[in-house]
Structure 1
């Protein structure tokens, strides 16, 4: 049949209108789909960003609580946050206060992602410097010595006592020294002797199993004694204006970490179990036992400690100019 004889002749104008309507409908659907997709993506990003911020706030809070528990004479001094599209970085400055002088002690840096992960950014870390036949091969961090402690119930092949080094240091400098005791004492007993110079208390968190393990390890002549370095020690700072405040904060931080979880929960639970003797002793400042302290000041202010009979060992830590 010829085109002239088609029963329904084509209406070119109508076909054009139909095609135009289809194009408009397709464009409209594309625009609507794009808008919906954009809204969904923005919503997902906002939700992920909010979750990241909540996670960051919780983890940095737990990190701060744990830093109040672990690390000899180390304090936080301010933190900053850097944000990008998909991540954020939290940086916290750390210092040691030695004789009233702050010494930079590195920083804690952690990166958080909107994808739910967090990662600690490593730093240079501590390192040892010395010879194998030296009486002590000290560990260094930020160019300063790291203190070591000796537990009163652990046997050591050699106990270090560096108190005599105070006589070799000029009085224009201030020093940090870790003193380890022959027994564990109450806070009050320690303050009677060291309150003028004490900066930090080393809390006895050793279980009987750990005491036995370290003693047996130290019997092996092929390895150096296992001591407690400052960054491994648990304790709290001295507050001259409120003797029990820092001890109470130490306990509160332990309980907070135990309840809130995170990377430190298992350690907090173990410490609380030891401090309470499996729950038989109430966890309070009066029940804490102190196995050592950090004292700071000018050498002339610390030299009086040379004759204290309860001192079992002493190691020199960070030093700096007074002015």
Structure 2
């Protein structure tokens, strides 16, 4: 049909108005969509940021609590938080207190994201050098010796005694030494012997099955200070931490439950300070302060730890 025969001739001005209206409507819809998208993204970002902060606070508090009972004679010295648009880093400094002198003992660093994830950035662990023929390869961390323990129920090819090294260390130094006992002792018995030099108590958290397995397949497994469980101050605090973490302890919950079961003989005993078995200690002081323990028959093995100048 040609233009002359069209029933309604085209109105070009009207068509222009319709096109312009459609164009405006499309632009308006695009702008509205962009605004809504921006609002949603911003909202999700702030929600994610808040979730990240809550997760970071909870996990760092829990890590700090667990570090109170894991690791021989180590303690935290504050946490620094660094933030970026999509993540945050919590860096916690660890120290050893050796005769009143704080010695840096590495850092624990965790990265958290607004997507609800977290990961631990591990530092290099303890290391030593030697050959497989060596009777012993001492381990070092942060340039200092790492304490090792000998469990009283484990069989060893050789148990080492570093107390002789005290005679070679200047008495202006302060040293850390781990003593492993020949059996489990009560807190009172340990306090009577070591008194002022006591820095940390090693608690027997092993069960019979683990002891049997280690005796069957290993003849030289020492427990590094990093792996040991115990406490610096009071046994009641040690117990409170275990009970709290067992109830709501995140990644540590299963460990806390297993330790409580081992300490109570699967619930047959009460979890009380007087029922804890102390199988080792960390003592600190000048060499002359520690030499006086050379004649203690309860000491099965002794390993030197960190050393530093007293002044």
TM-score, shorter chain, exceeding 0.5: yes
- 1:283 partnered with 2:306: no
Identify which of 212, 230, 237 aligns with 1:235: 230
For the pair 1:296 / 2:284, whether they are aligned, the reply is yes
- Contact 1:147 1:178 (C-alpha < 8 Å) held by counterparts: yes
Distance 1:2 1:233 in 2: 97
Unpaired stretches in structure 2, ≥5 consecutive residues = none
Aligned to 2:119: 119
2-structure distance, mates of 1:4, 1:109: 83
Cα distance in 1 for residues equivalent to 2:133 and 2:99: 33
Distance 1:116 1:84 in 2: 15
- Structure 1 regions of 5+ residues with no counterpart? 220-224, 239-245
How many Å separate the matches in 2 of 1:198 and 1:43? 53
SS of the aligned residue for 2:196 comes to coil
Contact residue 70 and residue 235 of structure 1 kept, 8 A: yes
Give per-residue Cα distances to partners, 1:214-256, cap 9 Å, x unaligned.
223345xxxxx11111011000113xxxxxxx31221122122
In structure 2, how many angstroms separate the alpha carbons of the residues matched to 1:183 and 1:21?
A: 91
Say if 1:10 and 1:229 are closer, same or farther in 2 by CA, change over 3 A. Answer: same
Query: Are the counterparts in 2 of residues 157 and 218 from structure 1 also a CA contact under 8 Å?
Result: no
2:191 is matched with which residue?
Answer: 191
Per the normalisation by structure 1, the TM-score is 0.91
Shift of 1:181: 0.9
What is residue 271 of structure 1 aligned with on the other side? 259
Looking at structure 2, the residues matched to 177 and 215 of structure 1 have their Cα atoms a distance apart, in angstroms, of 25
Moved more, 121-130 or 209-218: 209-218
Determine whether 1:39 maps to 2:39: yes
Q: When the two structures are aligned, how many residues end up with a matched partner?
A: 311
Q: Measure the CA separation in 1 of the matches of 2:8 and 2:216.
A: 105
> What TM-score does the superposition give when structure 2 sets the normalisation length?
0.95
Task: Classify the secondary structure of the residue corresponding to 2:251.
Answer: coil
1:180-224 C-alpha deviation (Å, 9 max, x unpaired)? 1111111111111111101000001121112222223345xxxxx
